[in-house]
A and B are shown apart, each in its own frame.
Chain A
């Protein structure tokens, strides 16, 4: 149980375009979803926290107009990187909490590798 999927697993886009990443909780209702960013050989950096039906809460230094987060249902959250630039190239990982076993445990998706050319 407590499986989280992400789509796509990797994406290449041209500079200036937008790209959407989906995060789904497959077997539980995720009251809260989190989006992280991870650069090579570094730790996970929390970008934002979203609760279903509410606006996302962004961490300091994360541009909310650039990284649009939508959490429209209890099983789906999306991250849209708008007007992507090469410096946005990174590994984006979502997590979800609200599973039956432990309300606060976060279950992580497999990640999405974004390359902006």
Chain B
């Protein structure tokens, strides 16, 4: 119940295309859903996050879509660029518990 399932494991997108990464969860107590970007040899950096009272959040080229009834959320990267090539992790949190539960990660490669 504490798992967050992320797919796909790896993704290759052409420059300018849309990258889509999906996550699903079971625990309805989760109330905060962040996405992290990690470059090789670096720590994760917060990209964008959403709370379950909204269905979509957009920041620049990055959009989170959230489907509460399906217990799914996804990250869309518009106009994908080679600099977006990294590993992306979705996560979920019960704010009172503070403990982040991470998805398995998606290795994204943007071909020039």
Contacts and interface: CB of A to CB of B under 8 A. Distances in A.
The answer to whether A binds B is yes
Interface of A: 4, 6, 32, 34, 41-44, 46, 49, 91, 93, 95, 97, 104-111, 113
A97 B41 contact: no
A105 B42 contact: no
B98 A110 contact: no
B45 A108 contact: yes
Given A6-B43, A105-B46, 18 more contacts: A32-B98, A43-B102, A44-B44, A44-B89, A49-B98, A49-B99, A91-B41, A93-B43, A97-B98, A104-B32, A104-B93, A104-B98, A105-B49, A107-B46, A108-B44, A110-B43, A111-B42, A113-B41
A111 B100 contact: no
B102 A44 contact: yes
Contacts of A43: 89, 102-105
Contacts of A44: 44, 89, 102
B105 A111 contact: no
A109 B103 CA distance: 19
A12 to B, nearest CB: 15
B98 to A, nearest CB: 6
Contacts of A95: 43
A111 B45 CA distance: 11
Contacts of A6: 43
Contacts of B89: 43-44
B111 interface: no
B105 A42 contact: yes
B106 to A, nearest CB: 10
Nearest to A110: B43
B95 interface: yes
A105 B49 CA distance: 10
A44 to B, nearest CB: 5
A95 B36 CA distance: 13
